[in-house]
Amino acid sequence: MGLPRAPQQQQQQQQKNKEKSSVSSNNFNHHQDMDMNFEDEPIDDTTESSNLEDSMCDVDDSNPGTDKTSADYYFDSYSHFGIHEEMLKDVVRTKTYQNVIYQNKFLFKDKVVLDVGAGTGILSLFCAKAGARHVYAVECSHMADMAKEIVEANRFSNVITVLKGKIEEIVLPVAQVDIIISEWMGYFLLFENMLNTVLYARDKWLVNGGIVLPDKASLHLTAIEDAEYKQDKIEFWNNVYGFDMSCIKKQAMMEPLVDTVDQNQIVTNCQLLKTMDISKMTPGDASFTVPFKLVAERNDYIHALVAYFDVSFTKCHKMTGFSTGPRSRSTHWKQTVMYLEDVLTICEGEQLVGSMSVAPNKKNPRDVDITLKYSLNGQRCLVSRIQHYKMR
């Protein structure tokens, strides 16, 4: 999951990434530390398949007057091949899932597996190759049709059944499954709201003692210095060829930026905000308010807070997972940057304290509303503010 955002945001984000890559290498470069070891087996890039496509249906574009929501674009976006290619080429993501399955065949041997949001079926293929008795690959976009062809081409038709439709609407040929596997994570972990679909499938079909993969996810927060890029993207609107366009600046501030953060920009510690146990949590647990306390590790300025997530597979021989943080190898999820209205001057040891509230948008549940409360009572800066962000 975690696709380039649908509708206007998708094009805007692509343009942001292009613009951002031209900024000085001192600001948002791509030098990341490798924090995971992958097996030597190469990924087969000739198969355009991915599991990032979640429970979704296609949108009828025949009526140009249709008032599409971001959810509609989300459904439709997973019908495009370029997205599958991008997700599959995310080596951190794809190889982690492959390693979990191939290196823990004891979990899959003779088991019935449900692949939630199968896309073109890469995870289903991994599971079948690992010895699963049967895999039900559920996909609601046009990719379901391609997944059937891929399954046939790889001679797994006797093991993998592709079902086209929403998880909430399809009928499985079995009453229960032993394993549910899904790649449901979006930007900021929860953008696109695929998690609730996985929880629905868990409650309806997972046998007692069955497992969900991955089974743990955690959201983290840190603070960065980012003067140059904030000036380029936010303060720009104050004076556009001599005209005041600061009304756009207010909107730009509300939209978190998804991009790769240079670890050298990190000013504070990184704090765990929320851990989710996918095996036990309820849908309501995806809405929460949590406190944070970020401690400065040097004298510097803070221009933005940065969120990222980790996922874990704890049922393996050896606990496996990956991080999307700025100190880890880059993934397609990158990080989520939330610019602050204030430029904070912070001294080493001082604390930026506050709370973050997260909830699905009431109108479009695949979108995320974020409220950030923060305060700093330091030697050189005294500030207290509430800011609202909308991931669309």
In this structure, the number of other CB atoms found within 10 A of the CB of residue 15 comes to: 10
CA–CA separation, 52 vs 97, rounded Å? Answer: 11
Residues in the chain: 392
Residue partners of 312: CB distance under 8 A and separation at least 6: 214, 215, 216, 217, 218, 319, 320, 321
Given the residues 53, 139, 192, 225, the one annotated as active site: 192
- Rounded to an integer, the average pLDDT of 260-264 is 96
What is the spatial distance between Cα 106 and Cα 132, in angstroms, rounded to a whole number?
10
The strand pairing partners of 138, in sequence order, are: 116, 163
Instruction: Tell me: pLDDT of 6 over 50.
Output: no
Query: What pLDDT, in 10s, does the model give residues 314-341?
Result: 999 999 999 999 999 999 999 999 999 9
Give the residue-averaged pLDDT of 272-290. Answer: 96
Q: Is 225 a catalytic residue?
A: no
pLDDT digits (tens, 9 = 90+) for 31-45: 333 334 333 334 343
- Tell me the backbone φ, ψ of residue 101, rounded to 5 degrees: -75, -50
Total number of domains in the chain: 1
* Residue 292 scores a pLDDT above 50: yes
Cis peptide upstream of residue 214 (ω within 30 degrees of 0): yes
> Which residues, other chains included, contact 254 with Cβ-Cβ below 8 Å and sequence gap of 6+?
387, 388, 389, 390
- Mean pLDDT over residues 22-37, rounded? 35
Is 212 contained in some domain?
Answer: no
For the segment 358-384, the average pLDDT, to the nearest whole number, is 95
- On the question of pLDDT at 56 being above 90, the answer is no
Q: Say whether pLDDT at 142 is over 70.
A: yes
**pLDDT in the model for residue 233:** 85
pLDDT band at 21 (very low <50, low <70, confident <90, very high): very low
Domain span including residue 251? 217-391
Task: Please check whether residue 259 lies inside any domain of the structure.
Answer: yes
Q: What is the pLDDT of residue 120?
A: 85
The H-or-E segment that residue 11 falls in is helix 7-21
Domain-located, residue 5: no
- pLDDT bin (cut points 50, 70, 90) of residue 79 is low
Is pLDDT of 9 > 50?
no
Decide if 183 is catalytic.
Answer: yes
Across 297-311, average pLDDT: 98
* Residue 29 lies inside a defined structural domain of this protein: no
Is residue 292 in a domain? yes
Q: Is 5 exposed, middle or buried (0-12, 13-18, 19+ CB in 10 A)?
A: buried
Q: What is the mean pLDDT of residues 38-64?
A: 38
Asked if the model's pLDDT at residue 361 lies above 60, the reply is yes
Kindly name the residue from 139, 183, 255, 350 that is annotated as catalytic. 183
Can you give the CATH number for the domain in which 268 is found? Answer: 2.70.160.11
Q: Output the six-digit token pair for 277.
A: 């146990």
- pLDDT class for 80, splitting at 50, 70, 90? low
Q: Specify if 358 maps to a domain.
A: yes
Note the pLDDT of residue 84: 64
pLDDT for res 82: 77
For residue 307, list its beta bridge partners: 221, 336
Evaluate whether 374 touches 353 at the Cβ level (below 8 Å): yes
Tell me, rounded to whole angstroms, the distance of Cα 120 from its chain centroid.
Answer: 19
The answer to the question of residue 329 being in a domain is yes
Percentage of the chain with pLDDT > 70? 79
User: Per-residue pLDDT averaged across 282-299, rounded?
Assistant: 97
- Condensed to tens digits (0 to 9), the pLDDT of residues 220-260 reads 999 999 998 888 888 899 999 999 999 998 889 999 999 99
pTM tops 0.75:
yes
Q: Is residue 118 part of a domain?
A: no
Q: What residues have CB less than 8 Å from 162, skipping those under 6 apart?
A: 118, 121, 124, 137, 139, 144, 147, 148, 151
